[in-house]
Amino acid sequence: MALGPTEPVMTIDPPVVSAAERRRVIVSGYIVRRPLGGGVFCTLQYALGLLRLGHDVWFFEDSEDYPACYDPTRHVTDTDPAYGLRFAGEVLDHYGLGARWCYYDAHTDRWLGPCAAHARSICATADVVITASGRLRPWTAEVPRRVFVDKDPLFAQAMYLRDASRRAAVAQHNAFFTYGHNIPAGTTEVPDDGFAWRALRQPVVLDIWKVAPPPEPGQGRYTTLMQWNAYPPAEIGGQHYGLKSHAFGPFEDLPQRVDVGLELAVGGSEVPRERLRRFGWHITDPLLPSRSPAEFQRYLAASRGEFTVAKHGYVAARTGWFSERAAHYLASGRPVITQDTGFTEWLPAGDGLLAFSTSDQAVAALQEVERRHAHHCRAARELVAEYFDARKVLPALLD
């Protein structure tokens, strides 16, 4: 599709799709509202991956109608996007999307960013909008293919069943994808919310993840970035589905059972930091490795691998969810040891990726990875290339 004469143009060399297959795609997510290094990649790789395939891609962000702009320098969440706009501009410019983004500020009814003046015309000629975060507005609600991506299975479906307005917002879409792989397979306890979910793997643009030599034994730790409690737990049919704080208990003494360092970059006012330190966990501020995408990538590269638990609800309901962050560790050539949410039903574990359900299994997994660390580092990168490569994942969203 030809661009208007005054719209910024970016060329792809060489395009993977033909001219007949090329689509104008709007990716809706958040970078301005959540200007943190690790979170950037969760949205960026949708836009960058489709751009690399040769599509005409634009990144649009919506302010939401409530205070949602986080400023890590002021440690506040309000309606001021100033910090996030600067952050997004630098990040998107670095990755070749510098002229292809805008931000709609509902609080002031203004379009901001490089393509703000052309935002409505881009929407009017778009073939696809992918809502990785945010909402449809009148100018995107008429795009022919409207794709919704659910990144929080179980908790999202529970919300749609109890909140009519949120359900109506999702129902404006006409294609529904979820990271809860076991929902379409029918092997989960996630309640049926009436949407026709299809399974989706997180897209990873492999060439932005460079593999550096891992730290020597004793020189690095197994790390993770996590939020202790992100929101209230869910109650479905009398069953309690909790968050990471509810999943961590059986594993809190793990540092005393293994000969490797374990580190949590953990956020939340309710984190029992001193208790965790007494058990031997290294505790750090998650904002430090999240100051920029480069800092996040350096943090992963300096790790021996990732050790992490999953939200209790993901595990208890056997959602089949797999972490975007874990995929980034794999892409960095770092092994991942993570709690099984049922993802082993679709993603092979054992080399580069090890799953556990009990504390004894977690100990055994850490010992195995240390025993053959170089092997598991190689296998980690091979696994992400086979299952999460954006060139394989993203075409399904456009079909």
Per-residue pLDDT of the chain (399 residues; tens, 9 = 90+): 333 333 333 334 456 888 889 999 999 999 999 999 999 999 999 999 999 999 999 999 999 999 999 999 999 999 999 999 999 999 999 999 999 999 999 999 999 999 999 999 999 999 999 999 888 999 999 999 999 999 999 999 999 999 999 999 999 999 999 999 999 999 999 999 999 999 999 999 999 999 999 999 889 999 999 999 989 999 998 899 999 999 999 999 999 999 999 999 999 999 999 999 999 999 999 999 999 999 999 999 999 999 999 999 999 999 999 999 999 999 999 999 999 999 999 999 999 999 999 999 999 999 999 999 999 999 999 999 999 999 999 999 998
149, 157, 131, 196: which is closest to 314 by C-alpha?
Answer: 157
What are 67's two structure tokens? 């205070």
Note the helical H segments in the chain: 37-53, 82-94, 119-124, 155-162, 164-171, 182-185, 244-247, 273-279, 293-301, 312-316, 324-331, 359-371, 373-387, 390-393, 395-398
What CATH number does domain 24-205+390-398 carry, 1.10.3470, 3.40.50, 2.20.25, 1.10.1660? 3.40.50
CA dist 67 and 77 (Å) reads 6
pLDDT at residue number 331 = 98
Q: Which backbone phi and psi does 123 adopt, to 5 degrees?
A: -65, -40
pLDDT at residue number 15 = 63
pLDDT at residue number 5 = 32
For strands 197-199 and 175-178, give the pairing.
Answer: parallel
CA dist 349 and 332 (Å) reads 17
Question: Beta-carbon neighbour count of residue 313 at 10 Å?
Answer: 28
CA dist 177 and 198 (Å) reads 5
Superfamily (CATH) of domain 207-387: Glycogen Phosphorylase B; (3.40.50.2000)
Question: Beta-carbon neighbour count of residue 308 at 10 Å?
Answer: 22
- Cα end-to-end span (Å), the chain: 17
pLDDT at residue number 4 = 36
CA dist 264 and 243 (Å) reads 16
Q: Domains of the chain: which residue ranges? A: 24-205+390-398, 207-387
CB distance 114 to 11 below 8 Å: no
CB distance 230 to 293 below 8 Å: no
Same fold, 24-205+390-398 and 207-387: yes
The conformation of residue 41, written as its DSSP 8-state character, comes to H
Residue 142's alpha-carbon distances to 46, 145, 166, 353, in angstroms, are: 21, 9, 19, 41
Residue 112's alpha-carbon distances to 49, 85, 149, 170, 231, in angstroms, are: 24, 8, 25, 25, 30
pLDDT at residue number 7 = 37
| Sequential DSSP letters for 96-136 | T-TTSEEEEETTTTEEESTTGGGHHHHHHT-SEEEESSS--
On the CB side of 263, how many CA atoms lie within 13 Å of its CA?
A: 20
pLDDT at residue number 14 = 55
What are 310's two structure tokens? 């999953």
